[in-house]
Amino acid sequence: MTGLLYSDNNPMLFEKNIACLEQAAPDLARKLRHDAGSTDCELVHTKTGYPSLRAGRISLHSFYNPMKEACEWAGHYQEEISRAQHIAVLGFGLGYHVMQLLSQVDCPVTVFEPRADVLQKAFSALDLTSVLKKITLVGDGEVPDYNLRLTILEHPPSVRLSADYFEKIKGRLNSARMAFEGIRILVVSPVYGGSLPVAQYCSAAMLKMGHQVELVDNSRFQDALFLARDAATDRQRYRTMVDNLSSFISEMVLSRCEKFKPDIVIALAQAPLSEPCVKTLRSRGVTTAYWFVEDFRFMDYWRSIAVWYDYFFVIQKDKFFDELRSAGAESVHYLPMAACPDIHKPVDLTGEEQAYYGSDLSFVGAGYYNRRHFLTGLLDFELKVWGTDWDMSSPLGRCVQRGGQRLEIEEIVRIFNASKININLHSSHYHRGINPFGDFVNPRTFEILSCGGFQLLDRRTELDGLFDEGSEVIVFEDLNDLRDKSRRYLNDDNERQQIARRGRERVLHDHTYERRLADMLMVIAKKGIPRACWADGGEPVGKLVKEAGRDTDLGQFLERFSGRRRITLSDVAADIKTGVGDISRTEKIFLAMNELLH
């Protein structure tokens, strides 16, 4: 903080700061330029020469040494700062405390300051361009989306000056913080199908994020479902048996909920929950969400179930949004697929594995109508086709591996790694080639790249914004284009590998299940996550903080749970174990108590 350029109501300094702010927050910059309302703000010269600021009867900084005061402020929050992944600062003032904070952290920092006159004085008094380049400055009541664990730091005089504003902001930030801290979440899987592993990936991701998660894995009921299909004499009898199985599973889920006491229940596509089950959950105050990871044009059961849930997440937009709203769904949100880097990752292959799983071109997936026709146009390449439901008597049959047996995920990962080019052709029941109306992006798109594999992908309208075409993925428009690009990239190992590397980096940064679930929970948290009405529930957080005293070490520690209504000792211990950085003395005491009592 040495060498700080400061002045007293300098218009040129103001313009320099505003020009910098315009790059990231043009609306706020415009407001500061043109807001000429009355103000009770006054710059005050301190004994050390640096300006301070008084607003009405509140001094926002020390009148003696604001620099030293900023260091003391950062020292007060040292423990929280050392553990922070994303910091929200309540109050800007003249920015001294923000400068000190930025000298200690590399994580993202968002600063909230509602008073235009305070910012105008700051911009006229100090060169803040280096600060403005490193922070997100918010002047209204909007809370940005966060994808990292959030730490809230208060600048006390600023909070006193704008008490009502910051009370609302703290409430919204605490709700947002819940998306990354110890929510009790129950995940319900389908009985079988492509969304079954997605349920497992979601559970694993939320555990890594620090939530308390329980997975209801309904794959154990596959045999019962297949038995019903084989035994049914007509469609109505089969439907009756499926409904009975759904009722049984729904009762089991409610029983699990009574023991686990979740705040949120997330159901994956085709999860066998009945309408009475979902209604019971909602009547208990449980937030319900559904992730429909299927093509709405082909699977239309969404028409009846979308209205059951508080939140309905989908992998398609535009027309599907219109259809859902027409069906009565009120909270619909776009949430594309992702990859699980713990599963979909580069692996070292033996020479034998490379020979078995590898080929110039490969395709992994079921033999849908369009794939059977389209892939026949590649028979003059070294092509291996893996998966079920292929016509083994067709010319393409000689390329189908292992007689069309079903593959385990571990084998699919080896194929993605071993193949020079992974072909990704989305399925269609009606077209002989690429679906001209194709919009959603399938899981394979993300999984191939997460494995470090190179892929050629058919044109999808929703690909824009997910990946940079030509740099991270290569798209083909028709069979001739696929053939031309296959020859090109087979002959250029270096370019193929560089594209695959960039694609993997993009997936790891933007397209993991942790990122997707963070987005989902942020949507929910913005509206608030009420604590479900289960019998037992720990102690009220507000009561604990009040009894400990807000200014004590214990009270400040318990403040981190202010986004929750009630907590247990187990909740506190689980939160500590998912944190980063050194464990404080207070945290050690809680962990010891938890071990003694359990």
**226 belongs to a structural domain:** yes
Considering only residues 490 and 229, tell me which one the structure prediction assigns the higher pLDDT. Answer: 490
**Residue 17 and residue 7 in contact, taking contact as beta carbons nearer than 8 Å:** no
| Residue 6 belongs to a domain | no
pLDDT in tens, 61-100: 999 999 999 999 999 999 999 988 899 999 999 999 999 9
Retrieve residue 510's tokens.
């933007």
Q: Is residue 346 part of a domain?
A: no
Same domain, residue pair 256 and 285: yes
What residue spans of 2-115 are helical by DSSP H? 11-22, 26-34, 66-76, 78-83, 96-102
29 and 168: one domain? yes
Question: In angstroms, rounded to a whole number, what is the distance separating the alpha carbons of residues 525 and 158?
Answer: 26
User: Does residue 330 share a domain with residue 377?
Assistant: no
Q: What is the pLDDT of residues 333-344, one digit of tens each?
A: 999 999 999 999
Average pLDDT over residues 367-378: 95
3-state secondary structure at position 457:
strand
The pLDDT assigned to 451 comes to 98
User: Whole-angstrom Cα distance, residue 19 to residue 121?
Assistant: 16
Is 114 buried (19+), middle (13-18) or exposed (0-12) by CB count in 10 A?
A: buried
Residue 324 and residue 211 in one domain: yes
Q: Extract the tokens encoding 431.
A: 């077209």
Q: Which domain holds residue 173?
A: 11-178
* Residues contacting residue 508 through CB under 8 Å, at least 6 positions apart: 341, 450
Which of 466, 492, 511 delimits the end of a domain? 511
**Residue 126 is part of a domain; what is its CATH number?**
3.40.50
Q: Check whether residue 376 and residue 452 sit in a common domain.
A: yes
How does residue 3 score in pLDDT terms, banded at 50, 70 and 90?
A: very low
> Is 172 in the same domain as 192?
no
Q: Are 216 and 252 in contact (CB under 8 A)?
A: yes
Asked whether residue 519 is domain-assigned, the answer is: no
- Are 477 and 589 part of one and the same domain? no
- Do residues 74 and 97 lie in contact, with contact meaning Cβ atoms separated by under 8 Å? yes
**Beta strand extents in 236-329 (DSSP E only):** 264-268, 287-292, 311-314
Q: Do residues 444 and 463 lie in contact, with contact meaning Cβ atoms separated by under 8 Å?
A: no
- The last residue of one of the domains, among 143, 178, 213, is 178
Predicted TM-score (pTM) of the model is: 0.75
Shared domain check, 209 and 164: no
**Mode of pairing for the β-strands spanning 383-386 and 421-424:** unpaired
Asked whether residue 525 is domain-assigned, the answer is no
In a 3-state reduction of DSSP, which class is residue 448? helix
Distance CA 418, CA 4 (A): 56
Please say whether the beta carbons of 203 and 173 come within 8 A.
Answer: no
Element (H, E) at 45: strand 41-45
Q: Are residues 381 and 466 in the same domain?
A: yes
Mean of the per-residue pLDDT values of the chain: 90
Contact predicate 500/477, CB 8 Å: no
pLDDT for res 236 = 92
- The residues pairing with 265 across neighbouring beta strands, listed in sequence order, are 186, 288
Tell me the mean pLDDT in the region 396-406: 95
Please count the structural domains in the chain. Answer: 4
The pLDDT of residue 581 is above 90: no
More confident residue, 282 or 595: 282
Same domain, 299 and 389: no
At residue 6 the predicted structure's pLDDT band, cuts being 50, 70 and 90, is low
- Asked if residue 2 has pLDDT above 70, the reply is no
DSSP secondary structure letter of residue 181: S
pLDDT digits over 206-243, tens only? 999 889 999 999 999 999 988 988 888 888 999 999 99
Residues 25 and 119 grouped into a single domain: yes
The span from the CA of 482 to the CA of 492, in Å, is 15
Task: Return the higher-pLDDT residue of 537 and 516.
Answer: 516
Please tell me the distance from the alpha carbon of residue 266 to that of residue 281, in angstroms, as a whole number. Answer: 11
- CA pair distance 135, 233, nearest whole angstrom: 66
Distance of CA 250 to the CA centre of its chain: 28
Instruction: Please state, for a pLDDT cut of 90, what percent of the chain lies above it.
Output: 69
* In contact, 152 and 173? CB cutoff 8 Å: yes
Q: Which of 178, 212, 229 is the last residue of a domain?
A: 178
Tell me the average pLDDT across 37-59: 88
pLDDT value at position 553?
Answer: 78
pLDDT at 5 (0 to 100) = 53
Quick one: average pLDDT of 479-501?
A: 97
Angle between helices 513-526 and 195-208 (to 10 degrees): 70
Burial 243-274 (b: 16+ CB within 10 A, else e): eebbeebbeebbebbeebbbbbbbbbbbbbbb
Residue 46, burial from CB neighbour count under 10 angstroms (0-12, 13-18, 19+): middle
CATH number of 405's domain:
3.40.50.2000
Residue 526 lies in a domain: no
Flag whether 63 is in a domain. yes
Q: Which two tokens stand for residue 430?
A: 């009606």
d(C-alpha 274, C-alpha 247), whole Å:
6
Q: With contact defined as beta carbons under 8 Å apart, do 255 and 283 qualify? A: no
H-type helices in 273-339, by residue range?
275-283, 302-305, 319-326
* The predicted structure's pLDDT at residue 1: 47
On the question of pLDDT at 406 being above 80, the answer is yes
Of 14-18, 168-172, 323-327, 577-581, give the lowest mean pLDDT range. Answer: 577-581
Whether residue 157 is found in the same domain as residue 15: yes
533 in any annotated domain: no
CA pair distance 458, 574, nearest whole angstrom: 44
- Per-residue confidence at 404, pLDDT binned at 50, 70, 90? very high
Tokens standing for residue 471: 């740099």
